Amino acid sequence: MKVPTDYLLHLADNAVVLGQRDAEWCGHGPVLEEDLALANISLDLIGQARLLYQLAATRLGNGATEDALAYFRGDTDFRNYTLLELPNSVALVGYAKTDMDYATTVVRNFLYSALMVLVWEALQDSPDTDLAAIAEKSLKESRYHLHHSADWVIKFGDGTEESHNRAQAAFDHLYPYTEEFWALNKFEQDAIANGTGVDVKTLRAAWESIIKETLDQATLALPTTKGHLPEGKNGRHSEHLSFLLGEMQSLARQHPGATW
Amino acid sequence: MNKPALKDWPLWEVFIRSKQGLDHKHCGSLHAADPAQALHMARDVYTRRQEGVSIWVVPSAAITASNPDDKGELFDPAADKIYRHPTFYEIPEEVGHM
């Protein structure tokens, strides 16, 4: 039994896009130890993306490769959650620049890894055994990402006035984007229908309790969502993804097929 | 945002036990806000290439170290007491390698 290939691409695109965002801190981390920690997380995510792209490429055939899927698809072909492509800063238009904000990075990693711990746990039992094997490996990594980010959420929230305010602002900005997790689309429904995918709606209560418990410890308030439903996984993205891909894909497109 | 946090973070000494090793060996130090974070950071800084299977972190302030200036009086007197090495004993065959 095989999971729909779009479902694999969705998981892969999530990982590669967040891996790219986290990698923006490489060499710019707030302290040396955190610089290394975040680069590790970024490399875990890119590793997950590679496994998923390789599997998708094998199943697509016709000469598809992991590089072609990562570097030669346009923004509207990407199936990642909109949450993951947003800049490491407060809300901005696509070309604007500002200082990166570590609270934004940490809160996003927290919201996503809390979901992925539950998703990978469930996918370990997928009858698509290739996907199940990737889930088993990724679960350990995502558990670590959740520990790391939750630890910082608590330190920031329960820290100084400035760190508290920044963490709260990051939650207020990012939390509404998590609505996209729960709105099942075609490939998710197909994956549920043939038994290979997970129905994320069944994970929602567990996800919310992870979020709530950490926010309580961090003395932060749970933001409200306001009805906007992002549709990144359906290929309708914010302007930020194009800029991210522009940077990520430019080298491969300028030197197609280049190797080390 | 670029104010160094390190000034407020204590220093920790990191000890790693490798897969084959029986003992934890000192491998370096790092700054962290608390013990749990020091462990996490030690994992990220010192075990990225599968160096270890167990980590200890110890506040550097908890270590009392000998003074390098006392090296002479502490260690030189042992230099001419080779009889403290048990190299003058006949080891019976059946004991094997010691």
Q: Which of B9, B36, B44 sits opposite A37 (nearest CB)?
A: B44
* pLDDT band at residue A94 using 50, 70 and 90 as cut-offs: low
Question: What's the pTM value of the predicted model, to 2 decimals?
Answer: 0.89
Nearest-10 Cα torsion for A126, A130, A134, A136: 50
Tell me how many domains chain A contains: 1
Give B98's contacts (C-beta < 8 A, 6+ positions apart).
Answer: B91
Predicted confidence at residue B7, as pLDDT, reads 66
Distance from the A172 Cα atom to the nearest Cα atom in chain B, whole angstroms: 20
Decide if A110 is inside a domain.
yes
The arithmetic mean of pLDDT across residues A14-28, rounded, is 97
**Tokens matching residue A126:** 């997928």
The arithmetic mean of pLDDT across residues A123-132, rounded, is 98
- Alpha-carbon distances of A227 from A38, A92, A230, B27, rounded to whole Å: 32, 20, 10, 52
User: What's chain B's average pLDDT?
Assistant: 88
* pLDDT band at residue B27 using 50, 70 and 90 as cut-offs: very high
* pLDDT band at residue A47 using 50, 70 and 90 as cut-offs: very high
**Tokens matching residue A21:** 């965002």
Q: Would you call B45 and A155 a contact, using CB atoms and an 8 Å cutoff?
A: no
Q: Which of B5, B44, B45 sits opposite A30 (nearest CB)?
A: B5
> DSSP string covering A118-169, please?
HHHHHHTT-SSHHHHHHHHHHHHHHHHHHHHHHHHHHHHHTS-HHHHHHHHH
Question: B41 to chain A: which residues are within 8 Å by CB?
Answer: 33-34, 36-37
The arithmetic mean of pLDDT across residues A31-55, rounded, is 96
Predicted confidence at residue B1, as pLDDT, reads 45
Q: Assess whether pLDDT exceeds 90 at residue A99.
A: no
* Three-state DSSP class for residue A103: helix
Name the residue with higher pLDDT: A236 or A95.
A236
Predicted confidence at residue B88, as pLDDT, reads 76
Decide if A14 is inside a domain.
yes
A102 in reach of chain B (CB within 8 A)? yes
The per-residue pLDDT for range A141-173, each reduced to its tens digit, is 999 999 999 999 999 999 999 999 999 999 999
Q: Assess whether pLDDT exceeds 90 at residue A105.
A: yes
* CATH number of the structural domain spanning residue A197: 1.20.1260.10
Residue in chain A closest to B44 (alpha carbons) equals A37
Give the ipTM of the model, two decimals please: 0.77
Q: Would you call A151 and B37 a contact, using CB atoms and an 8 Å cutoff?
A: yes
Q: Assess whether pLDDT exceeds 60 at residue B4.
A: no
Predicted confidence at residue A162, as pLDDT, reads 96
Phi, psi of A30 (to 5 degrees): -60, -35
Interface contacts (A, B; CB < 8 Å) = 37
Distance from the B64 Cα atom to the nearest Cα atom in chain A, whole angstroms: 25
User: What's chain A's average pLDDT?
Assistant: 95
Phi, psi of B17 (to 5 degrees): -105, 125
Q: Assess whether pLDDT exceeds 90 at residue A63.
A: yes
Q: Assess whether pLDDT exceeds 90 at residue B14.
A: yes
Q: Assess whether pLDDT exceeds 70 at residue B91.
A: yes
**Tokens matching residue A139:** 């679960």
B6-95 CATH, one of 3.20.20.140, 3.40.50.2300, 3.10.20.520, 3.40.50.300? 3.10.20.520
CA distance B74 to B40: 37
A143 in reach of chain B (CB within 8 A)? no
Distance from the B44 Cα atom to the nearest Cα atom in chain A, whole angstroms: 5
Q: What type of residue sits at position B66?
A: S
Residue in chain A closest to B33 (alpha carbons) equals A155
The per-residue pLDDT for range B43-89, each reduced to its tens digit, is 999 998 888 999 999 999 999 999 999 989 999 888 888 888 877 77
Question: B6 to chain A: which residues are within 8 Å by CB?
Answer: 31
Name the residue range of residue A97's domain.
Answer: 5-254
Decide if A182 is inside a domain.
yes
CA distance B40 to B42: 5
A193 in reach of chain B (CB within 8 A)? no
Give me the residue spans of the domains in chain B: 6-95
